[in-house]
Structure 1
Amino acid sequence: MRWKNLMEQTVYENRWFRVNLADVELPDGRHLDHYLIRMRAVAVATVVNEANEVLLLWRHRFITDTWGWELAAGVVEDGEDVAVAAAREMEEETGWRPGPLTHLLSVEPSNGLTDAVHHIYWSERAEYVGDPEDDFESDRREWVPLKLVPDMVARGEVPAANMAAALLMLHHLRLG
């Protein structure tokens, strides 16, 4: 059954997202008002080194008041290549410049509410270039053994679904 978006009107907008109100026609002909969030693409990156350790950030998310492990991530700027954005975010947030990036997966973390797409990349090497420019993004940055990832996800230490999916995929690719 397909829902039809007949029209959208923006009710709020800033540089990161728009909140729209849509007139949606249901398969039985009824209509409903549905709020949705239109978002910019997000680029995510990490590296898995020769010891099968993954570079992670330990950070607090004030919205949910939770701590957890994440990968470096941020919005793709207008006209910016997604892989370039992923590399930029990783360097800004960790102080590590990734080698050639490989696309791992793209996910829609909340497709019932937003059109956000997170494009996740990884590299097999990185060069430390100094303290992170955006050191306020995380409490610490650590190389974590990839073999620990499934248990970390199971314990809720990787609360963001997009990050959990990426880390489990990397675990599968490198150790599975």
Structure 2
Amino acid sequence: MVEWRTFGRRQVYGSPWVEVWLQDVEVPGTGRIEHHVVHCPRASTTAVVTNEAGEFLLIHRHRFITGRWGWEVPAGWADPGEAPVEAITREVEEETGWRPGRVEPLTEYFAMAGISDAHFRSFHVTGCTRVGEPQDVSEAARVEWLPEEDVVALLTDGGISDGPSHAALSYYLGPHRLAGRR
């Protein structure tokens, strides 16, 4: 059996957004080590937003950490006590100016299971109604409905490099469709 055993942990850093822990673990065949663990205390949500024309609602933004511009799906963290479905409904409207109609679970995953418990929940959003300009002007330089062929090209040429966006869109365009869940 190749299951790591844990013997305790100590926090190195903590904030409302991220915590870093050193965990005392025994790795089979290696022995005991201190392993870094990144804990995200808030639920992370993303949304693949589509319309009846088969277009995808994306935001174009700059990420200072990577120094890159790129297209992303609406995303955000749940506020304390807020359910993920409520969080993504709020985030879509705040970031895009479009109010979701129907919000359905799409997929969920751990982005970096070897070092982090960051758990992402992706939703499929349809039936949106335009309610105005985005409320959070710091989120996006542009908000646009893009045709599927443009989204596929962005996924393959690096125009969408954000991990949660890449995962949600790739899942929607692949396994979700293959399973017949349009």
TM-score w.r.t. length of structure 2 = 0.90
Shift of 1:29: 6.0
Which position in structure 2 is the counterpart of 1:34? 35
Shift of 1:89: 0.7
Which position in structure 1 is the counterpart of 2:24? 23
Which letter maps to 1:171?
Answer: L
Deviation string for 1:113-145 (max 9, x for gaps)? 210011111222101111111121111111011
Contact 1:87–1:97 (8 Å) recurs in 2: yes
Deviation string for 1:78-109 (max 9, x for gaps)? 21111010101111111111112011111211
Q: How does 1:61-80 map to 2 (within 5 A)?
A: 61-80=63-82
Which runs of 5 or more residues in structure 1 are unaligned?
A: none
Shift of 1:147: 2.8
Which position in structure 2 is the counterpart of 1:55? 57
Which position in structure 1 is the counterpart of 2:89? 87
Which runs of 5 or more residues in structure 2 are unaligned?
A: none
Shift of 1:157: 0.9
RMSD after superposition: 1.7
Contact 2:48–2:169 (8 Å) recurs in 1: no
Which position in structure 2 is the counterpart of 1:5? 6
Deviation string for 1:42-87 (max 9, x for gaps)? 0112420011000001111111111111111111122111101010
| Aligned length in residues | 176
Contact 1:18–1:37 (8 Å) recurs in 2: yes
Shift of 1:13: 0.7
CA distance in 2, matches of 1:42, 1:105: 12
**Are residue 145 (structure 1) and residue 160 (structure 2) matched?**
no
Q: 1:158 aligns with which of 160, 169, 174?
A: 160
CA distance in 2, matches of 1:61, 1:123: 24
Residue 52 and residue 27 in structure 1: after superposition, are their counterparts in 2 closer, same or farther (change >3 A)? same
Q: What is the SS of the residue equivalent to 1:137?
A: coil
CA distance in 1, matches of 2:177, 2:31: 49
TM-score w.r.t. length of structure 1 = 0.93
Which letter maps to 2:80?
Answer: D
CA distance in 2, matches of 1:122, 1:95: 17
Q: Percent identity?
A: 39
